[in-house]
Amino acid sequence: MSKLNLLTGTLLKEIIESPINGEITVIKSVAFGTYLSVGNLTQSGGILQEIWKKTLRKIRNYKLPARNTTRSVAGGEISNCLILGLGGGSVAKVIRKYWPVAKITGVDIDPKMVEMGKKYLGLGELGVKVVISDAEKFLATKSKFDLICIDLYLGDKYPDKFEKEQFIKLVKKTLSPKGIAVFNRLYYGEKRKEAALFGEKLKKHFYKVDWFFPEANLMLICRS
């Protein structure tokens, strides 16, 4: 499906129905390029990719201890990355830019979202190991990751189970000793209080939590 809106400069490429996310809309915009939208919120591509680009650029500039040495290097030694909430692959694209040889595993519960990412956003060209699974169930594996990016919204809803201590503990357990976890939270209106409370909760589990505010989001950068 294609429909051009001359007033906004957007091209409606396709609309599909997902049993998990509901209606997924693929839009091509003059300002933001091609992106996937659910409930009028960008889920992959567009402004969301810019948010992750700013956040991961900040992490790349951190001075973190490299493995098996007292030497510090920019961005540490990030070689194994996990994305919880892969969507169409926005985060994977940024990781591939900043850490070109890193192994990337992307987990998403919605195969329709991944399908649209491969069709419109180049996800299939990024060398990502794609796993269709619930994020919490995946964390039961024994793999360790240097960087975990958590972006688990369904539209504008952050599922309750991903707020719980059990999930946070699983994320920390899955990090390598010098690893970093990044939680993306919406930060506008009533969601500001929810995001802030979640940030305070994270402080109980990680030795350092940086609060970073790109656009209308709060990115909680946690060090194990």
**How many beta carbons lie within 10 A of that of residue 95, not counting itself?**
24
Give the Cβ contact number of residue 205 at 10 Å: 15
What letter would DSSP give residue 98?
Answer: H
Active site residue 110: no
> In the chain, what are the helix, strand and coil shares in percent, each to the nearest 5?
30, 40, 30
Three-state SS string over 104-132 comes to: EEEEECCHHHHHHHHHHCCHHHCCEEEEE
Q: Find the length of the chain.
A: 224
Cα 148 to Cα 157: distance, rounded to the nearest angstrom: 20
Q: Active site residue: 108, 110, 146, 151, which one? A: 151
- Sign of torsion over alpha carbons 106, 68, 174, 203: negative
**Mind telling me the catalytic residues?**
151
